[in-house]
Amino acid sequence: MTLILSFVIGFLASVAAYILHSITHEIRHLLTANFSEDSFNWLYLLFPVIGIYLTSLFIKYVVRDNISHGITRVLYAMSTKRARLKAHNCWSSVIASGITIGFGGSVGAEAPIVLTGSAIGSTLGQLCKLDNKTLMLLVGCGASAAIAGIFKTPIAGLVFTLEILMVDLNMASLLPILISCVTATLFSYVFVGTESLFDFTLNNPWEMNRTPACILLGICCGFVGLYFMRAMSSCEGMFAKMSNRPYLKLACGGLLLSSLIFFFPSLYGEGYSDINIFLSGNTAADWGTIMNGSLFAGHSNLLLLYVGIVCFTKVFATSATNGSGGCGGTFAPSLFIGGFFGFFFSHLWNTEQFGVYIPEKNFTLMGMAGVMTAVMHAPLTGIFLIAELTGGYQLFIPLMIVCISAYLTTNIFETHSIYALRLAREGKLLTHHTDQAALTLMSMHSVIEKDYSYVGPDLPMGKLVNAISRSHTNFLPVLDQDKTLLGIIDVAQLRHIIFRTELYQKFTVRQLMVEPAATLHEHEAMTDVMKQFDATDAQQLPVVDNDEKLIGYISRMRMYSMYRKIITDLSAE
């Protein structure tokens, strides 16, 4: 059954990839076929905004769900061992990203296709009522088939699933994933032919004296990848602050994106056609065609400046696209920036004449692998993807040098990939560390107890004793009329006076209450909650919202009971 489903998933993923690329290509051809190559085109200021607006309307009124950050969603579904994705993800990302990219959105189609393929695997598994373990495997099959189908790279599809989605490799999982990858690749050949996505012919085999340049390129790619992640994260944060003002987001993001594309048309869409110019060209005249349609057209002396600015601004174009309501991934932008930076590095090296000639087309490829490795923390994916894409297996050694150097460099400053980073900051990233995994799988809302008694600050001690007798805990919160937490009554601290009836009218709750040992907030990560209990040795801690109004409390006993159960379940697996 699993092998049959993996074949079906591979076929459907290749169909989805074909449909997405067809939508993107047709829209772009319809809009830009008659654009001038010798001067700027004013419609670049309009098309991206229209595309983002149409995408946002489609998501709001048709999908009615958040479909951004596709690979991050798949990673979370798999890491939490649920592997259940919504059925609409089988088609919604294809349409939304097709509109966005076709109209000029500076994002990639890979993440939406990975989400689509994974959703296909999840949906088929749920329809067949398979267990969670098999369901996770089918999601992995869908993700690997998506990469294999869109790039025609079966090995890279397999490695991507192992490195990015952290699927445990064994013989039982290897065969279904391979079947999905090979099936998706073969049907992609049927749909679009055997031509590679990138046009590359190796004219200058690798030489030993280029090793220092390869190491330096890898280190630089590591820093470029780090810049990409940090800038992307900052821009996402800025757009997130405008989440309640969609038209302001559209105006800001659309204006930024359209302006960048107007001055630098290479930022339109995925940009793979421009990378092909670097890979197939041999002279400055060939490479200069990359500036066609821009204000730089015909100024071959400004090529290096143009490439450098495009490399620097791509991250802002990508952030503006997704932040203002578009739909797309960061996979293609990382390849794009890598390719541009690889050319920039090698062309600058050769211009300055450092003594060793390094071929621009080779280093364009290695730059793609290096930056992608740095951004995704996936050196094997970078190596095999670029090698399979271009048939450049003779560049295996320099690809390995660049990818290893890039990974080691970026890992010093950032230990998570761009996909895992988003989950890690939300406290939702599952790792192979059992204790950390258990806390990640726990949620604040699953341990909050909302059935509690409370007292007011002016209640006499006599009535407080009656309230304590009716309570089932040693914890009584003290609240004002607005349910704001003022303090707590700790029954253990009142034992020495609780039976002294002569004091019942002399004291009020306000005089007897104490500050809680710590106060928790509703969106805190469970790792922080556990630290608070360890630090205070409290039996119960109150949970409040942003206005300090009481939501409930967390009991140490209940939290540790749930923690032990999850640890037991993880150990059993």
Helix (H) or strand (E) holding 368, with range, is helix 360-376
Domain membership flag for residue 198: no
Position 462 scores a pLDDT of: 76
Beta bridge partners of 8: none
Domain membership flag for residue 69: yes
Residue 571 pLDDT more than 50? no
Among 99-103, 298-302, 392-396, which range has the highest average pLDDT?
Answer: 99-103
Tell me how far apart the alpha carbons of residues 360 and 32 are, in angstroms, rounded to a whole number: 29
* Contact status, residue 510 vs residue 458, Cβ threshold 8 Å: yes
Tell me how far apart the alpha carbons of residues 70 and 93 are, in angstroms, rounded to a whole number: 8
Q: Which residue has the higher pLDDT, 573 or 312?
A: 312
Q: Which of 418, 443, 461 is the last residue of a domain?
A: 418
* Statement to judge: residues 145 and 256 lie in one domain: no
* Statement to judge: residues 239 and 380 lie in one domain: yes
Position 216 scores a pLDDT of: 96
Q: Which of 192, 225, 246 is the last residue of a domain?
A: 192
Domain membership flag for residue 153: yes
Average pLDDT over every residue of 98-109: 91
Domain membership flag for residue 200: no
Average pLDDT over every residue of 373-401: 87
Position 400 scores a pLDDT of: 94
CATH number at residue 440: 3.10.580.10
* Statement to judge: residues 388 and 244 lie in one domain: yes
Q: Which residue has the higher pLDDT, 419 or 358?
A: 358
Domain membership flag for residue 271: yes
User: Domain span at residue 148?
Assistant: 2-192
Tell me how far apart the alpha carbons of residues 114 and 100 are, in angstroms, rounded to a whole number: 17
Tell me how far apart the alpha carbons of residues 62 and 115 are, in angstroms, rounded to a whole number: 18
- Which one-letter amino acid corresponds to residue 66? N
Domain membership flag for residue 423: no
Position 504 scores a pLDDT of: 67
Tell me how far apart the alpha carbons of residues 331 and 536 are, in angstroms, rounded to a whole number: 45
Going by the DSSP 8-state scheme, the letter that residue 314 receives in this structure is: H
Residue 226 pLDDT more than 90? yes
Q: What total number of domains does the chain contain? A: 3
Out of 44-53, 171-180, 367-376, 483-492, which region has the weakest mean confidence (pLDDT)? 483-492
* Statement to judge: residues 76 and 182 lie in one domain: yes
* Statement to judge: residues 362 and 444 lie in one domain: no
Give the sign of the dihedral formed by CA 117, CA 121, CA 123, CA 124: positive
| Number of C-beta neighbours around residue 191 at 10 A | 15
Cα-only R_g, the chain: 28
Q: Which residues of 221-256 are buried (b: 16+ CB within 10 A; e: fewer)?
A: bbbbbbbbbebbeebeeebeebeeeeeebbebbbeb
Q: Where are the alpha helices (DSSP H) in 202-330?
A: 211-240, 246-263, 272-280, 284-288, 303-323
Position 560 scores a pLDDT of: 74
- Share of the chain residues as helix, strand and coil, in percent rounded to the nearest 5: 65, 5, 25
Comparing CA positions, the residue from 286, 228, 239, 295 lying closest to residue 266 is 295
* Statement to judge: residues 397 and 529 lie in one domain: no
170-212 pLDDT, tens digit per residue, is 667 788 999 999 999 999 999 988 888 888 888 888 888 999 9
Confidence of residue 366 (pLDDT cuts 50, 70, 90): very high
Q: Which residue has the higher pLDDT, 252 or 563?
A: 252
CATH number at residue 30: 1.10.3080.10
* Statement to judge: residues 126 and 237 lie in one domain: no
417-462 pLDDT, tens digit per residue, is 787 776 655 555 554 444 555 556 566 777 788 777 788 888 887 7
Position 573 scores a pLDDT of: 47
Position 5 scores a pLDDT of: 92
In angstroms, the Cα distances linking 247 to 261, 263, 516 are 20, 24, 43
Domain membership flag for residue 429: no
Position 505 scores a pLDDT of: 74
455-483 pLDDT, tens digit per residue, is 888 888 777 777 777 777 777 888 888 78
Give the sign of the dihedral formed by CA 252, CA 253, CA 256, CA 262: negative
Mean pLDDT of the chain: 84
| Number of C-beta neighbours around residue 207 at 10 A | 12
126-175 pLDDT, tens digit per residue, is 888 888 778 888 888 999 999 999 888 899 898 888 887 765 566 677 88
Q: Which two tokens stand for residue 86?
A: 């919504």
Residue 561 pLDDT more than 70? yes
* Statement to judge: residues 165 and 30 lie in one domain: yes
With a pLDDT cut of 90, the percent of the chain lying above it is 32
Position 432 scores a pLDDT of: 47
With a pLDDT cut of 70, the percent of the chain lying above it is 89
Residue 367 pLDDT more than 90? yes
Give the sign of the dihedral formed by CA 76, CA 80, CA 84, CA 86: negative
In angstroms, the Cα distances linking 221 to 66, 121, 235, 329, 404 are 32, 34, 21, 20, 11
* Statement to judge: residues 401 and 529 lie in one domain: no
Domain membership flag for residue 493: yes
510-523 pLDDT, tens digit per residue, is 877 888 888 888 77
Confidence of residue 81 (pLDDT cuts 50, 70, 90): low
Q: Which of 393, 418, 443 is the last residue of a domain?
A: 418
- Three-class DSSP category at 489: strand
Tell me how far apart the alpha carbons of residues 477 and 541 are, in angstroms, rounded to a whole number: 10
* Contact status, residue 11 vs residue 184, Cβ threshold 8 Å: yes
Tell me how far apart the alpha carbons of residues 438 and 38 are, in angstroms, rounded to a whole number: 60
Q: Which residues of 411-450 are buried (b: 16+ CB within 10 A; e: fewer)?
A: eeebebbbbbbbbbeebbbbeeeeeebbbbbbebeebbee
* Statement to judge: residues 295 and 255 lie in one domain: yes
Comparing CA positions, the residue from 177, 221, 179 lying closest to residue 409 is 221
Q: Which two tokens stand for residue 382?
A: 């970078």
* Statement to judge: residues 291 and 348 lie in one domain: yes
* Statement to judge: residues 148 and 229 lie in one domain: no
In angstroms, the Cα distances linking 394 to 208, 339, 382, 383, 428 are 13, 18, 15, 12, 40
Phi, psi of 391 (to 5 degrees): 65, 20
